[in-house]
Amino acid sequence: MTKIALVAGATRGAGRGVAVELGAIGATVYVTGRSTRERRSEIDRPETIEETAELVDAAGGRGIPVQVDHLEPDQVRSLVERIDAEQGRLDVLVNNIWGGEQLFSWDEKLWEHSLDKGLRILRLAVDTHIVTSHFALPLLIRNPGGLVVEMTDGTAEYNAANYRISFFYDLAKSSVLRMAFAQSKELAPHGGTAVALTPGWLRSELMLDHFGVTEANWRDALRAQPHFAISESPAYVGRAVAALAGDPEVSRWNGHSLSSGGLAQVYGFTDVDGSRPDAWRYLVEVQDAGKEADVTGYR
């Protein structure tokens, strides 16, 4: 049976990778975001939801772009009503909304950081997920077997032991981990599963631009940052979601914090280059340990 999926926040990065890889297993994927060919979001980048939908089509699925601001309850309600009217069910919900890339400061402490920008980060990274789940879960639990994937940055173990960049970034990404756990408790009696999932060092469009490289020549960035050798394409975490969506025993993961590298060891998928980068183990054992970059045994 064709999977019906909603990837909320699928304009670029991990969301686009997830949408495309769900398309590769034949899913019908509603791809949402604020950036369309007619109008860009505040992030002001060229990627659009229409492009993502076309990539889903090219991968073998059916991509349906819907412009949605997930902070607007009426827009999210209308989205879910449309999915219900057109499909009658929802099998996979991927909460990937973020949008805080240009708002958080790497260097400023809580008392120095712009309060307006900090609170905006929390609205974009936390409230959007809550609003989306609030409206989507009644449709998802209509049939047993539904899957919710809360996308974040960092595993529960790593984030519990480490400060993540800045107060607002730390709070945002750790909150998503807890949201996945809470939803797992509420979904379980209805036959549903909720997990938190993190990619490793993601070669998103923004990250590639930061290093002045493309996906084709990304290794050139190693001259500036040797540890970038452990990085992964958005397809890798996308394949992790596709593996979860196709697992008839996915409930074994209910409430767990998962990573693309960890799931690759279980399900056997690879990144686009055929490797299996295990970024979070590498981060602890090599990068955070102050060792020279060496991905031997980690991809």
Residues 219-240: tens digit of each pLDDT: 999 999 999 999 999 999 999 9
Extract the tokens encoding 72.
């607007």
Mean pLDDT across 33-53 = 86
Q: What's the whole-number mean pLDDT along residues 197-221? A: 96
Region of poorest pLDDT, from 40-49, 134-143, 254-263:
40-49
Position 259 pLDDT exceeds 90: yes
DSSP 112: T
Q: What is the pLDDT of residues 139-149, one digit of tens each?
A: 999 999 999 99
Q: Does the structure show a pLDDT above 80 at 216?
A: yes
**Domains of the chain by residue range:** 4-205+234-280
CATH number of 4-205+234-280: 3.40.50.720
Distance CA 138, CA 17 (A): 26
Say what the pLDDT of residue 165 is.
86
Name the pTM for this structure: 0.96
User: Is the Cβ–Cβ distance between 198 and 236 less than 8 Å?
Assistant: no
pLDDT digits over 84-137, tens only?
999 999 999 999 999 888 888 888 999 999 999 999 999 999 999 999 999 999
Residue 68 neighbours by CB distance under 10 Å: 23
Instruction: Quote the tokens at residue 195.
Output: 């997990």
